[in-house]
Structure 1
């Protein structure tokens, strides 16, 4: 049986732990955050069910890497959410993708690259030195497209 305990003394900064101890290492770390959105689209030049207007509940997963800062964070998960909400989701959620995205066939393969590029552009505006490592775009729970930094890099 697991024994539960109540914290007796809450750790205090500058008393129980010093500011310089908050950063534990100097390694690159990948953090990941996922989001969902609902959207409609149809495919051109495709002979199958997806040539007709239909919708999906998509899932997007971002992998972002960087060196931890002075308190041990790569990037605040809230910052990733702000970027998603203000710079990417507005073009996707409850939208007709053929209308709101740049001219393209709205395949998962095309969309994942567009989402990757939008996040990459937004991260360049951040003060930390984070970089996008991958984006996965699930069109269904078992089908996804992925864009990776090594495939997208213009370096």
Structure 2
């Protein structure tokens, strides 16, 4: 069987897109929504793929780093454009540190509005 677990969290942050010709090149903010998903085929001895609590705790650490910040001023977004795609990739990479033998971080969706999101998969 294939299992997927997802946790949703929110944060607020500002950014401006470099080398973009349009209104998003100006400083603006979003109320971002993260949906982090872990995948696997085997459950642990408690019948879980990974504990939701562990995902939530680690997402809270990531959010603490991003929340109420000007993203263009923090690593790695002081060097790469703080696009939704790059944010999703950054978060997915961070989540790899809590992977288990059974559960792998496999997808992050990040919503910058109610109608626009970026998704990255492994």
Pairwise same-fold verdict (TM > 0.5)? yes
Unpaired segments of 5 or more residues in structure 1? 1-26, 150-155
Q: Which has the larger radius of gyration?
A: 1
Paired position in structure 1 for 2:88: 112
The alignment's C-alpha RMSD in Å is: 1.3
User: For 1:101, which of 67, 75, 89 is the aligned residue?
Assistant: 75
TM score, norm. by length of structure 2: 0.91
SS of match in other structure, 1:133: strand
1:77-133 CA distances to partner (integer Å, 9 max, x unpaired)?
1100111112x112211111011231211111111111111112x224x4x421011
Write 1 or 2 for the structure with the bigger share of strand.
Answer: 2
2:107 maps to 1:134: yes
Q: Offset of 1:51 from its aligned partner? A: 0.8
Match of 2:118 in 1: 145
Query: What is the number of equivalent residue pairs in this alignment?
Result: 119
Instruction: Decide which of 23, 31, 35 is 2:9's aligned counterpart.
Output: 35
Moved over 3 A (4+): none
**Structure-1-length-normalised TM-score:** 0.72
Q: Is the 8 A contact 2:43 2:102 kept in 1?
A: no
